[in-house]
Amino acid sequence: MDYEIKHHNKFRYIEEGEGETLLLLHGLFGALSNFKDLIEYFRLHYKVVVPMLPLFELDILHTTVGGLGKFVNKFIEARGYNQVHLLGNSLGGHVALIHVLKYPEKIKSLILTGSSGLFENGMGDSYPKRGDYEYIRKKTEMTFFDPETASKELVDEVYEIVNNRIKAIKIIALAKSAIRNNLGEELNQIKNPTLLIWGNNDTITPPFVAREFNRLIPFSELYFIDKCGHAPMMEVPYEFNTILHKFLKNLNEPATVR
């Protein structure tokens, strides 16, 4: 399904559905297609918002996870969103963490899946190999437990990015920024209810990373999904949406007195 790309000042985004705001942040090679199944499901229950993160538009000095965090804050302020359920995958999770650490008051809950911020395996020392389609295909397939999930369209998108010199430089800058920006000593400050949904076969942010997030974030709960890699919302959308919807519904249910 194609969605209308809306514009507000310098921001480009999609906004589907009504209700509480569920705001989605994509990763380093992310696109709207990453969230297709999630958007289709939750637009019936929430206002689903996906801003186009300016991965390649920021000047090189601000092409950092911190720079993206500032962008997200300006976007939320410009749109007047409040009580946001903030979800991030991979680098998007890292950006969500930076945002909630600085501006927790507008965030009702935090959802992380395959998030960086503690540890992540990159594309390797030789990345990016420009012009080597097979290399890019294999590296893209590593994102998933089932390599068939890496469609030709997805591989082509990644291939186009790494073969654009300016985009490749920005990708490297963001990847290095994510590695430098380790949040281990700050995560205990997060008081927002937090959901961690992780692929049990994630090789980029392996399961031990999820367990460490769970240990360090006070009000967090962790769910693993078997036969699933770094992008559960793409690879196992039914399981992902079921876990997320239950978590969100529980937030709105009054606590029972025992």
Predicted confidence (pLDDT) per residue in 20-76, tens digit? 999 999 988 777 778 999 999 999 999 999 999 999 888 888 899 999 999 999 999
Q: Residue with structure tokens 């399981």?
A: 239
d(CA 51, CA 49): 6
In the predicted model, residues of the chain with pLDDT beneath 50 are 123-127, 256-258
pLDDT at residue 5, as a whole number: 92
**Selecting from 3.40.50.720, 3.30.300.30, 3.40.50.1820, 3.30.450.20, what CATH number does the domain 6-122+182-250 have?**
3.40.50.1820
Q: Is 201 helix (H, G, I), strand (E, B) or coil?
A: coil
CA distance 35 to 12: 16
User: Looking at residue 254, what is its pLDDT?
Assistant: 64
The confidence score (pLDDT) of residue 161 equals: 86
Q: What is the pLDDT of residue 131?
A: 66
∠239-51-117 over CA atoms, to 5°? 65
Give the pLDDT confidence score for residue 124 in this predicted structure: 42
Edge-to-edge strands of the sheet including 21-25?
A: 6-8, 11-16, 47-51, 21-25, 84-89, 107-113, 194-199, 220-225
Q: According to the model, what pLDDT value does residue 123 have?
A: 47
Per-domain boundaries in the chain: 6-122+182-250
Per-residue confidence (pLDDT) for residue 140, from 0 to 100: 87
